[in-house]
Amino acid sequence: MRLARHRLLRALLLPLAGMAALPALAAPLAEADLRAQAERFVQQQYAAPGSRVEVDSEALDPRLRIADCAVPLAASLPGGLRMTPRLSVVMRCPTADGWTLRVPVTLKVWRQVLVATRPLIRGDGIVAADVRVEERDVTRLPYGYIGGMDQLAERSLSRTVAAGSVLTPGALGGRQTVRAGDHVQLVAELDGIAVRAEGVALGSGDAGARLRVRNGSSGRVVDAIVRGPGVVVALP
């Protein structure tokens, strides 16, 4: 009887011993966890004061079986921090036998930008009444944007800007030739004869900009075009 019990115990234990000797299979990494890590990484890269970041990852190939990683995953953006609506996040298991794959994501970065409230003309200086602040997805503004009036200080427009358009760095020219409050030489031309008077600029602008000027002698306000530094030509 005792021998029979011994043989029975051996028969039960041998299969268990054989199973313990098999190599352990790596547990699969859940796709949802991998995508969540990629989203968090992108969120951290673009987070900034005054920004609202939205990141959504796309589903991976359902045939993928992603092995678990014994160390924290490493994430990177191959294209750097260039803001585009679609990105690929490289997720890597940094071990000797690790793996690498790409997680596609869509990105939206909402920031405050300046938008023209009216048509603006080349050479004009910009004042607060010319723009309004709107929240826009800046990943869809490939030519950049202007985020505050401080970026417009003493600058004029290098081209016309339509009402409702986002102001971009490329729309700005050099510093204004004439600024509001400047004492200028007001020139009136008629039939080849030029009459000059002292005036005070009531607006700002670069060469070619239209602004209003108060005649220093008569006090009359006239429309004029900026010809150069300190010189404006009265319009008929």
Q: Look at residue 7 in the predicted model and tell me its pLDDT.
A: 52
Number of domains in the chain: 3
Domain ranges, residue 194? 183-234
Q: Look at residue 25 in the predicted model and tell me its pLDDT.
A: 33
Alpha carbon distance 181, 26 (integer Å): 75
Q: What is the full per-residue pLDDT of the chain (236 aa) written as tens digits? A: 454 454 544 443 333 333 333 233 344 678 889 999 999 999 999 998 889 999 999 999 888 888 888 899 999 998 777 788 999 999 999 999 899 999 999 999 999 999 999 999 887 778 889 999 999 999 999 888 999 988 887 777 888 999 999 999 888 877 667 888 899 999 887 766 778 889 999 988 777 778 889 998 888 999 888 887 888 888 87
Contact 158, 170 (CB under 8 A): yes
Domain boundary among 108, 124, 155: 108
Alpha carbon distance 116, 139 (integer Å): 19
Whether residues 99 and 126 share a domain: the answer is no
Alpha carbon distance 156, 205 (integer Å): 6
Q: Is 179 helix (H, G, I), strand (E, B) or coil?
A: coil
Whether residues 192 and 220 share a domain: the answer is yes
Residue type, 228: G
Q: Look at residue 28 in the predicted model and tell me its pLDDT.
A: 60
Identify whether 48 is part of a domain.
yes
Helix, strand, coil abundance in the chain, percent, nearest 5: 20, 40, 40
Alpha carbon distance 208, 125 (integer Å): 11
The CATH number of the domain where 164 resides is what? 3.90.1210.10
Residue type, 55: V
The CATH number of the domain where 191 resides is what? 2.30.30.760
Contact 224, 235 (CB under 8 A): yes
Beta strands in 33-141 (DSSP E): 52-57, 74-76, 86-92, 100-116, 131-137
**pTM score:** 0.63
